[in-house]
Amino acid sequence: MSRTTKVNPSNNATTTSTSSPADDEISQSLPSLTTSTELKNQCSNADLSNQNLSTVSPDLTTSEDIANRAKARDIVVGLQNKNIKLIAIDFDNTFLSTHTHGYYKGTADSLLPYIRPVFHYFIQELLESSAFSRTLHVCFVSFSPQEKLIKKLLRLAFTTSKTDQIIIRCSTPEFVANMKADYPGKEYHLLSVVTEIEKKRKTRIVRREILLLDDDPENISTAEQFGHKVLQIRDEISLDILKDFVYNKLRDC
């Protein structure tokens, strides 16, 4: 999603900087990008009627589908080999090929055709991996306040109860109301996710073990400054591009 926000760090926040790769503490020195008040006011009706649709329900019996599932499995294995522990996915213009503007009035099932096929295959293989929610965790981090919409859409897209183990962090009114200090980009969303994983799943994740997939260059730049791994999602994203990134461009943690 192509916005940035201020967020509220906790007292035990971890700092990061590109110049000090050994640090695991999130820095509070980076400039803020958007006020939480502005975030609260960033809502508008979404009109998706003129958008180009992408098929999200491939034929599971075709040779192309079998090949795509194999690519997605390779990507999951590659991420594990690179010691990635948390895959953080943006919602608008990333998971979806369109933007809901945080105030979508349609039904969740009407968004199914907008899910990018690359994420349909990728997330399905993540859910089926034995590492899912054990050593490999998945979350959605979005400035949209529509957390329930995203949760329902995931349940519709991936017919498994495991979707409830995907952690969703949205800028809901409650989330924004708790912002007492400034964090740029998706950093407070990520901090909140990491804190939950450590508390509930007894797994500690440091900044270099997080991979953020996001369309917004400012969010990507901020995440890089904090020491996370990143991939900017563009319209041409495909399983081949994602696999090439994981195996040839993503550095080991």
Residue 81 pLDDT:
97
Task: Calculate the dihedral angle through the C-alpha atoms of 140, 15, 35, 107, rounding to the nearest 10 degrees.
Answer: 0
Would you say 203 and 135 are in contact if contact means Cβ atoms under 8 Å apart? Answer: yes
Token pair belonging to 232:
């900017």
Token pair belonging to 141:
């981090």
Residue type (1 letter), 152: K
Would you say 146 and 103 are in contact if contact means Cβ atoms under 8 Å apart? Answer: yes
Strand, helix or coil for residue 102: coil
The structural domains of the chain, ordered by start, are 60-249 (3.40.50.1000)
Would you say 243 and 74 are in contact if contact means Cβ atoms under 8 Å apart? Answer: yes
Query: Closest by alpha carbon to 197, among 246, 132, 122?
Result: 132
pLDDT tens across the length of the chain (253 residues): 544 444 333 333 333 333 333 334 443 333 333 333 344 344 444 445 444 444 445 555 699 999 999 999 999 999 999 999 999 999 999 999 999 999 999 999 999 999 999 999 999 999 999 999 999 999 999 999 999 999 999 999 997 889 999 999 999 999 988 877 788 999 999 999 999 999 999 999 999 999 999 999 999 999 999 999 999 999 999 999 999 999 999 998 7
Residue 73 burial (10 A CB sphere; 0-12, 13-18, 19+): middle
Residue located via tokens 């790769």? 21
Query: Closest by alpha carbon to 78, among 204, 242, 194?
Result: 242
Q: Note the pTM of the prediction, 2 decimals.
A: 0.79
Cross-strand bridge partners of residue 213: 89, 231
Would you say 233 and 213 are in contact if contact means Cβ atoms under 8 Å apart? Answer: yes
Query: Closest by alpha carbon to 190, among 225, 161, 157?
Result: 225
Residue located via tokens 């950093």? 187
CA atoms within 13 A on the CB side of 146: 24
Residue 35 pLDDT:
37
